Amino acid sequence: MRHFYRTQLSSDEVLAGADDFFARLTLERTVNSHRARSYVGKLGSLRLKVEKEGGHYTFVEVSTDQTGESRLDRNVKRFFVELRSKADPRHRLRAAY
C-alpha cells in the first residue's frame, strides 16, 4: 500500500523520527540515503521517501509490501500521527465518530 503525508517538519526531522519509530517496531534499516529509507522486519518491508514541496512543506511517501490494512500499514499511520504531534505539540488524538 502507499501512504502520503504532508508536514511542516524538515526532511531531516522526518527521517530521524522514522529511524526512531520503526526501530521500536524491530524493523531493520536497509537503505540509508539523504532522502529515503527502507526498513525490513517480521511485519514486512517499507520504503519511505521525503521531498520538499512548495516552500515550507515536506511531502512524505511510504510504500509497504503489504496488501489491505496490515499491522505495518496501521503503524505507518501511527507514525504520521507522531509527525503531526511533533509539528504541533498541542495536537491530541481523538476519536472522530
3-class state of residue 70 by DSSP = coil
User: Which of 52, 53, 24, 20 minimizes the C-alpha distance to 37?
Assistant: 20
Name the pTM for this structure: 0.88
86-97 pLDDT per residue, tens = 998 887 777 766
User: Which of 77, 86, 93 minimizes the C-alpha distance to 2?
Assistant: 77
pLDDT at 89: 84
57-74 pLDDT per residue, tens = 999 999 999 987 899 999
pLDDT at 40: 97
H-state helical runs in the chain: 11-24, 71-87
20-59 pLDDT per residue, tens = 999 999 999 998 898 999 999 999 999 999 999 888 899 9
Q: Which CATH number fits domain 2-87: 3.20.20.60, 3.40.50.620, 3.40.309.10, 3.30.310.80?
A: 3.30.310.80
3-class state of residue 61 by DSSP = strand
